[in-house]
Chain A
Amino acid sequence: MLDDFFVRAMLAGIGIALCVGPLGCFVVWRRMAYYGDTMAHSALLGVALSFLFDLSLSFGVFIVALLVSFILVALQRRKSLPTDSLLGILSHSSLAIGLVLVAFMSWVRIDLEAYLFGDILAVSKLDLVIVYLGAIVILAVLSVVWRSLLVATISEDLALVEGFRPERSKLVFIVLMAGVVAIAIKIVGVLLITALLIIPAASARRFATTPEKMAVLSSAIGVVAVVAGLMGSLEFDTPSGPSIVVAAMLLFGLSLLARNKGGEA
């Protein structure tokens, strides 16, 4: 069964959607959408460097995403530019450096489109192992820092007074985000990872009364989007990333039509 590329892509996509759900909720709650984008865009640089130094792709992407976030933190401390400008600089320059590097490396043939938009043909059995191991680790770590992150989302001062360490949980969250980017890049592609973080979470909001319900629902919506998107991708021979995002967008549209059950402000 695993010999079928489509089954592999489907399983990988489901694994990604499951762990992206709760993380995406935090991205929405903490207004980190642009931040997620920056990490995702830096992934192409990770891809190029992995080829250059003959590293595992997921590893290279993970390391570069982490590096870019730490550079961001360092730049933020200098307080010379607002965060959105810094994000814009980092996001686009890392994407551009990645593209330039790929263009220079004439000795390897890199299917740029596959990395930008995702490719359902690209998932190997090893990738599948990486996705599920990654997803399990990400969800396990997230459950450990869950309460600390929730309280810090309400107020960092409150978290500090109540004995949590908001700085540390923020750092953990950054590492988890880098992990998600690393495992999601093959299926969803660099340009659209943020959409998979945000759209299912946003669709879940109206139906959730607690953060936990929103996280679970967001994972479920993500899984439906991945399954529908990949089927569409196979059927219409479209790139997998955009197909998944279109499916997610349709689900979001449906959620807008549904009656408001959650407590909306």
Chain B
Amino acid sequence: MEASPLISLKGAGVRKGERWLIRDVDLSVNPGEIVSLIGPNGSGKSTTLKAAIGLIDLQEGCAHKQPRLRIGYVPQKLTIDATFPLTVDRLMRMAGDHGADEIADMLTKVGMKDHAGSPVHGLSGGEFQRVLLARAMISKPDLLVLDEPAQGVDYAGEAALYQLIGQFRDETGCGILLISHDLHVVMAQTDRVLCLNGHVCCTGSPQSVANSPKYRELFGAQAAASFALYQHNHDHTHLVDGRVLHEDGTITDHCHHEDGHHHEHHDDESATGGNHAG
């Protein structure tokens, strides 16, 4: 029997002035399911996400949310004013009444334990995103909502971040709704992809979306091809803290050209792939 969705949108439309930001969007996230929203800039990804969790009102259609749903949220482009003194630890404590052990565990999980006492302003983009992720996860939410969790994170860090998110889903069985800019960085764990362009352009498993002609039209064939490349197996894994775990179990600071199949060639393609949208 299928569980009822945590959140859902039916025929949702959001209008700003005369312009519809999104229209006729259907979306649902079930417990244990990872749903990714992709699409070019201005395609209404954030609008859809915010409408789904009730942060903005709909002008059309309806939004449903399970009662007493606990949501862990990482907003897009969070900047903390330089005048606002805040350490990583204090930011974590602001999420609710969590014990020091609990906070330390969570920070360890995202590889930020050593930074507990650091001011948040000194963190790199990737470090800050990991702290925000830890903050969203610590309240054991039923639904994790992440608006571009990988912004400011390099390619390797991005893979590690997605792995962390997938692992959290496996451990807790929570539903996850996330935004990513491109399909080829959407992790293998994603159950369903919604490709948006003001409306739902296509939806389905990552593979089926990649093969969809509409997706190719939106992003260009090369981006679709680079996604296919992403599917092959790597013989090493990038850990959260930037180190590399090789297939034979050794851990090194960097991956070397001779050992391990590195995916620099995808990086090149991802760099050009973004331009196809425009």
Contact = CB atoms under 8 A, between A and B. Distances in A.
B122 A157 contact: no
Interface string B43-71: 00000001001010000000000000001
Interface string B111-124: 00000001111100
A28 B85 CA distance: 11
A161 B85 contact: no
Interface in A82-128: none
A162 B119 contact: no
A56 interface: no
Interface residues of A, number: 27
Contact of B83 (A155, A205, A210, A213): A205
Contact of A211 (B53, B71, B84): B84
A263 B122 CA distance: 8
B95 A157 contact: no
Contacts of B84: 29, 153-154, 211
A72 interface: no
Contacts of A154: 78, 80, 84, 86, 91, 94
Contacts of B121: 263-265
Contacts of B120: 263
A253 interface: no
A49 interface: no
Interface centre among A161, A214, A265 (most CB of B within 10 A): A161
A151 interface: yes
Given A147-B94, A265-B122, A157 B87 contact: no
A150 B118 contact: no
Interface in B82-121: 82-87, 90-91, 94-96, 118-121
A168 interface: no
A208 B80 CA distance: 15
B145 A29 contact: no
Contact of B90 (A30, A153, A210): A210
Nearest to A147: B94
B122 A160 contact: no
B73 A262 contact: no
Nearest to A215: B85
Contact of B87 (A31, A155, A209): A209
Contacts of A262: 85, 119
A136 interface: no
B137 to A, nearest CB: 13
A161 B73 contact: yes
A155 B75 contact: yes
Contacts of B75: 155, 157-158
B86 A211 contact: yes
B90 A263 contact: no
Given A263-B118, A263-B119, A211 B90 contact: yes
Nearest to B85: A208
Interface of B: 50, 53, 55, 71, 73, 75, 78, 80-87, 90-91, 94-96, 118-122, 145
Nearest 4 CB-CB pairings of A with B: A263-B119, A265-B121, A265-B82, A161-B73
Given A210-B87, A265-B121, 20 more contacts: A30-B81, A31-B81, A150-B94, A153-B81, A153-B84, A154-B78, A154-B84, A155-B78, A157-B55, A157-B75, A158-B73, A158-B75, A161-B73, A161-B145, A205-B85, A208-B85, A209-B87, A211-B84, A211-B86, A265-B119
